[in-house]
Amino acid sequence: MKRYDAIVIGAGHNGLTNAAYLARAGLDVLVVEKNDYIGGAAVTREMHEGWYYSSCSYVCSMMRQAIHRDLDLSRHGLLLVPYLGTVAFGDNGETLIDYPDEEASYLELKRHSPHDADAMSRFQADLGRYAQLIRKTLLRTPPDPASFRPRDIGELLWLAREFWKLGEQELYEYIRFFTMSAADFLEDYFENDLVKAAMASPGIIGTALGVESPGSAYILLHHVMGDVDGNVGAWGLARGGMGAISHAIASALREAGGELRTEAGVERILVKDGATVGVVLENGDELYSDIVVSNLDAKRTFTRLLAPQDLPPRILERARNFKIRGSSGKVNIALSGMPRFTGLPDNPYINRGGQGFVGSLETMERAYDAWKRGTWSEDPFIESVIPSAWDPTVAPAGKHWMSNFIQYCPPELADGPWTPEKRDAFGQTVVNKIERYAPGFKDLIVHMEVRTPHEIENEIGLTQGNIFQGELTIDQLLFNRPFPGYGQYRMPLKNFWMCGSSTHPGGGVSSACGANAAREILRDLKKPNIVPDDDCYDE
Amino acid sequence: MATTDPFAGERLKESPFHPRQAPMNLRDAWSSWNGFKFADYYYDTVYEYFCIRNFCGTYDICPMQKYLVTGADALAMLDRMVTRDLGKLKTDRVTYCCWCTDEGRMIDDGTIFRLDEDRFMLTCGSPCIAWLRKSMIGFDDVAVRDVTEETAGLSLQGPTACTVLKTLGLDGIETLKPFGIQRFPFHGDTLMVSRTGFTGGLGYELWIPAPLALTLWDALYEAGGDYGIHPYGEAATNMARLEAGFIMPYMEFSEALKTVNYQHDQSPFELGLDWLVDFRKPHFNGRAALLAERERGPRYRLTKLDIEGNKVAEDAILYNNRRCSRQVGYITSAMWSPAAKANIALAMIETRYLEGDIWAEIYYPKELRPIRKMARCTVRDKPFWSGPGARQTPPPAT
């Protein structure tokens, strides 16, 4: 019977990246995917004739440029297009436009608060400083602080040196930043509530935390430290939708001789004498390999694919308690025309990019309160993008699709399980809110796909629909991700690895988790490293 | 009494498209080209670059020089002037070519359109009427007319370009092959379309009598509204052409007739334009010198480089080691390529050092401090980027 060198479970972008590097290193690699399409949460699907939705993730800025370049994803068909013009909408109909031009943005801020217009540069500089350090860690394996191996000590020293370069004062600031709330952090800079709300909103995206919850300041950073072609904080769209990223990586994988099998869900990971030896598919097929790599989240991997008796009890407990709470929904809408937002000029550079229906800090916190009670707010935070205005391939000419990300949406409702009726009611809430800011919006709707954590979990397998494969709080970051002591992609079974967003550096379409895991696997196999260093060290 | 503008002599001319382009130039980012006011960019260079790569954009080529060369001897005259064999150029076809001094140094490059049996249009970056007149010596039946100002040219480049032209009503445009010409009736006159461009992707150039320029613009922007049409300027052009590996005057080459220092101009061989030089034709300007150069091999070669890291190697000097003890060449153009996701450059490198290591000495600023970096360069043979299906007929839908 055929025996692979490696089987990677899950054809999400990290699994594909991991497999591509293993295949490039000469390994005989198979990726198995439960769906009949690849991409996991980096996926494009034609959900209505002529409309191609990025059903889950929808924008891109974390993608490691060094990986994109090294795997030659451009030649494999990937084009990342930055989009411009993000507008924050406040509770009372006021708008805050983020112009691509710095001077214009300054004047816009000044309209709301002269103080905040000035403070913005200090805010951006501070954020830039924090981001600079974190960015450098993305394509590195976190050091194990409890280990005395020279490599871990070396890596810890590197980290210490990078910290030290920030200056003494910044060390304190950094610790604060990692543990404080987005709202408190912003309090140091801004006075205007809409400015604060607009800046705070990245701090709650994908997270079961509120703007007032400790830890949300880091999430904010996580969302602004990416870049498009060196423009830190910029966001891009993949031409052809997010699935284009997965397809380009899959093409690189195939070119390197890797194999990809869809409709091949894994029922169970085979374990023999404390080592993984292969997988059993849902159809009963048994596939064998020297190593098994799971791109699924930590909770699903350890509680669904592995038998409890095969695991150390401590790990099982960690996996069961892994913080992976679902908190987000997604509503994809096909439109017969471009929505017109009240209060915005007819300026095509700014009225069809991103819309942040932030309301205010209070509104966002109330939405979080609703989530805690097991329901959704009638006034949720919505982050929208209109990709069809920036990509001619995702909707028919003159028509549009709008991606709407909703914070918050509970994984389970207080009044019982999700039903199609409740799902539609949730979708209606979103439409009602957008209609308030863009009268006539409802009349433009051609088709709608409403996705609650329930759909996200069932379709692509993210536990509770958590977009990050586990929350990005300090207890689950760096060497603590996914579990303390297991931050280096090796799992507590022999020949068993993880490569998904449950590992460092966490969620976001970055390819970093998959690439880092490949580097570690090749190291254990005593093969030369072929995973490139990040290209951000000159910053 | 009408007041006269005392600065009239210094003001730049306006292109026939200016009335539409000016209000779109939100940043007042103007530069100039051949005496015309010319946009460096309109809104944002990167935005416009992505229009070229992702939707489509228009580039005003009115300031480009256009000469109508006619007469029974027109072909013979042009064929003697340029290095390429024009005998193969059929009617309604376009060819890229260059022309040289007797010493085989390049004067300029451009395109020749064969409009009819004895009717040609020559386009080029700089005025060259003096050289054309010199080239006419010995030919009886040939006339040259500068039609730069009477002909408006607009380049439409990008993956949606063909769809936009179809929407404009140009039936059959999808059958037009690269370097082909088609004509369409347009408001009582003729719109000439060539499938040519300077971006490495799908693209067309539209030629119309200047009085119809605005009519064309309005119709085109109406047709392109749903296909992301947007004007782009010099900055985005420069990005796109570099990714495609095309040369630019005053970056890759100095025009031979304007160069002061000996051999600070270039030969077609040095510029990698070997394929433009056809020694099978009996005589052309610079033939003997070029033949000799081919024998001994060019001293320099224009080379495509992929440079490690992401710091742009603009103006960098190249060495064959990282200690910088031996200079082997210099960068002519460099950029970070968003489409190729690579740190790319064109460089003039001494031929004998091409096989060895190449290092670029890069200076980049970091909050006012210049930082020096040595970066390893890898030679690339192919263009850094080429549009998917850009040469396909019919072109891909988007």
Q: What is the ipTM of this complex?
A: 0.96
Q: Are residues B228 and B56 in contact, defined by beta-carbon separation less than 8 angstroms?
A: yes
B256 occurs within a structural domain? no
Q: What is the pLDDT of residues B26-57, one digit of tens each?
A: 999 999 999 999 999 999 999 999 999 999 99
The pLDDT of residue A388:
98
Give mean pLDDT, residues A231-248. 95
Domain boundary among B227, B244, B261: B244
Q: Count CA within 13 A, CB hemisphere, residue A190.
A: 25
With contacts defined as CB-CB under 8 Å, which chain A residues touch B50?
A: 81-82
| Residue of chain B whose alpha carbon sits nearest to that of A100 | B44
DSSP state letter for A143: P
Interface contact B54-A73, CB threshold 8 A: no
Interface contact B398-A393, CB threshold 8 A: yes
| Residue of chain A whose alpha carbon sits nearest to that of B338 | A229
As given in the structure block, the two tokens for residue B356 are 């060895």
**Distance in angstroms (rounded) separating the CA atoms of residues A186 and A193:** 10
B108 with B234, same domain: the answer is no
B188 with B46, same domain: the answer is yes
Instruction: Tell me how far CA of residue A224 lies from CA of A62, A130, A219, A227, A228, in angstroms.
Output: 9, 10, 9, 8, 11
The pLDDT of residue A167:
86
**Distance in angstroms (rounded) separating the CA atoms of residues A357 and A347:** 19
Domain boundaries defined on chain A: 3-42+59-80+240-322+474-524, 83-230+324-460
**Distance in angstroms (rounded) separating the CA atoms of residues B203 and B200:** 8
Residues whose CB falls within 8 Å of the CB of residue A159, separated by 6 or more in sequence, listed in order: A137, A143
With contacts defined as CB-CB under 8 Å, which chain A residues touch B362?
A: none
With contacts defined as CB-CB under 8 Å, which chain A residues touch B160?
A: 392
Q: Count CA within 13 A, CB hemisphere, residue A361.
A: 22
The pLDDT of residue B150:
97
Domain boundary among B121, B146, B171: B146
**Which of 238-297 (B) contact A at CB < 8 A?**
none
Query: In this model, does residue A362 exceed pLDDT 70?
Result: yes
CA A89 to chain centre: 23
The pLDDT of residue B365:
94
The pLDDT of residue A176:
86
With contacts defined as CB-CB under 8 Å, which chain B residues touch A393?
A: 398
The pLDDT of residue A172:
86
Q: Give the residues across from B192 on adjacent strands.
A: B183, B207
Q: Are residues A21 and A522 in contact, defined by beta-carbon separation less than 8 angstroms?
A: yes
> What is the domain-level CATH number for residue B125?
3.30.70.1400
DSSP string, B100-157: E-TTS-EEEEEEEEEEETTEEEEEESS--HHHHHHHHTT-SS-EEEE-TTTEEEEEEE
Q: Which CATH architecture has domain A83-230+324-460?
A: Alpha-Beta Complex (3.90)
B29 with B71, same domain: the answer is no
Query: In this model, does residue B16 exceed pLDDT 80?
Result: yes
Mutate to test the interface with A, among B341, B344, B378 (most CBs of A within 10 A): B341
Q: Give the residues across from B82 on adjacent strands.
A: B99
Q: What is the pLDDT of residues A462-514, one digit of tens each?
A: 999 999 999 999 999 999 999 999 999 999 999 999 999 999 999 999 999 99
Q: Which of A402, A396, A387, A394 is nearest to A435 (CA)?
A: A402
Asked if the domains A3-42+59-80+240-322+474-524 and A83-230+324-460 are classified in one and the same CATH topology, the answer is no
Nearest CB to B385; choose among A74, A100, A391:
A74
B43 with B156, same domain: the answer is yes
Q: How confident is the model at residue A538 (pLDDT cuts 50, 70, 90)?
A: confident
Q: Which CATH superfamily is domain A3-42+59-80+240-322+474-524 in?
A: FAD/NAD(P)-binding domain (3.50.50.60)
Query: In this model, does residue B3 exceed pLDDT 80?
Result: no
Residues of chain A whose beta carbon is less than 8 angstroms from a beta carbon of chain B are 65, 68-69, 73-74, 77, 79-82, 84, 100-101, 228-230, 239, 349, 390-393, 397-398, 535, 538-539
**Distance in angstroms (rounded) separating the CA atoms of residues B8 and A501:** 64
Interface contact A398-B398, CB threshold 8 A: no
Neighbours of A442 (CB within 10 A): 13
Q: How confident is the model at residue B2 (pLDDT cuts 50, 70, 90)?
A: low
- SS3 of A385-449: ECHHHCCCCCCCCCCEEEEEEEECCCCCECCECCCHHHHHHHHHHHHHHHHHHCCCCHHHEEEEE
Q: Are residues A191 and A115 in contact, defined by beta-carbon separation less than 8 angstroms?
A: yes
Interface contact A538-B385, CB threshold 8 A: no
The count of structural domains within chain B is: 3
Give mean pLDDT, residues B134-141. 96
Q: Are residues B114 and B91 in contact, defined by beta-carbon separation less than 8 angstroms?
A: yes
B156 with B187, same domain: the answer is yes
How close is the nearest chain B Cα to the Cα of A397, in Å? 6
Q: Which of A151, A160, A217, A200 is nearest to A367 (CA)?
A: A200
Query: In this model, does residue B1 exceed pLDDT 70?
Result: no
Q: Which of B197, B241, B220, B381 is nearest to B303 (CA)?
A: B381
Interface contact A538-B46, CB threshold 8 A: no
DSSP string, B261-322: STT-S--TTTTT-GGG--TTSS--TTHHHHHHHHHH--SEEEEEEEESSS---TT-EEESST
Q: Which amino acid is located at B376 in the chain?
A: R
With contacts defined as CB-CB under 8 Å, which chain A residues touch B366?
A: 539
The pLDDT of residue A178:
86
B334 with B322, same domain: the answer is yes
B283 occurs within a structural domain? no
Q: Are residues B375 and B362 in contact, defined by beta-carbon separation less than 8 angstroms?
A: yes
Q: How many CB pairs under 8 A join A and B?
A: 62
Q: Give the percent of chain B with pLDDT over 70.
A: 99
CB of B341 within 8 Å of any CB in chain A? yes
How close is the nearest chain A Cα to the Cα of B29, in Å? 13
How close is the nearest chain A Cα to the Cα of B75, in Å? 41
Q: What is the pLDDT of residues B307-361, one digit of tens each?
A: 999 999 999 999 999 999 999 999 999 999 999 999 999 999 999 999 999 999 9
Q: Is B11 helix (H, G, I), strand (E, B) or coil?
A: coil
Residues whose CB falls within 8 Å of the CB of residue B205, separated by 6 or more in sequence, listed in order: B61, B153, B154, B155, B156, B193, B194, B196, B197
Average pLDDT, chain A: 96
**Distance in angstroms (rounded) separating the CA atoms of residues A156 and B304:** 40
B158 occurs within a structural domain? yes
> What is the domain-level CATH number for residue B339?
2.40.30.110
Q: Count CA within 13 A, CB hemisphere, residue A293.
A: 38
The pLDDT of residue A315:
95
Neighbours of B384 (CB within 10 A): 23
Average pLDDT, chain B: 97
Q: Are residues A121 and A162 in contact, defined by beta-carbon separation less than 8 angstroms?
A: no
Q: What is the pLDDT of residues B209-251, one digit of tens each?
A: 999 999 999 999 999 999 999 999 999 999 999 999 999 999 9
B160 with B44, same domain: the answer is yes
With contacts defined as CB-CB under 8 Å, which chain A residues touch B388?
A: 77
Q: How confident is the model at residue A375 (pLDDT cuts 50, 70, 90)?
A: very high
> What is the domain-level CATH number for residue B175?
3.30.1360.120
| Residue of chain B whose alpha carbon sits nearest to that of A85 | B47
Percent helix / strand / coil, chain A, rounded to 5: 40, 20, 40
B335 occurs within a structural domain? yes
Interface contact A73-B341, CB threshold 8 A: yes
Give mean pLDDT, residues A10-21. 98
Sign of CA pseudo-dihedral A379, A384, A388, A390: positive
Nearest CB to B342; choose among A69, A390, A392:
A69
Query: In this model, does residue A215 exceed pLDDT 80?
Result: yes
Q: Is A350 helix (H, G, I), strand (E, B) or coil?
A: coil
Interface contact B44-A74, CB threshold 8 A: no
B1 occurs within a structural domain? no
Sign of CA pseudo-dihedral A145, A146, A152, A158: positive
Q: Give the residues across from B56 on adjacent strands.
A: B229
DSSP state letter for B372: E
Q: What is the pLDDT of residues B93-136, one digit of tens each?
A: 999 999 999 999 999 999 999 999 999 999 999 999 999 999 99
Give mean pLDDT, residues A424-432. 98
Where in the sequence is the domain holding B329, given as residue range(s)?
A: 301-381
Nearest CB to A229; choose among B43, B54, B336:
B336
Sign of CA pseudo-dihedral A423, A424, A430, A433: negative
With contacts defined as CB-CB under 8 Å, which chain B residues touch A74?
A: 339-342, 385
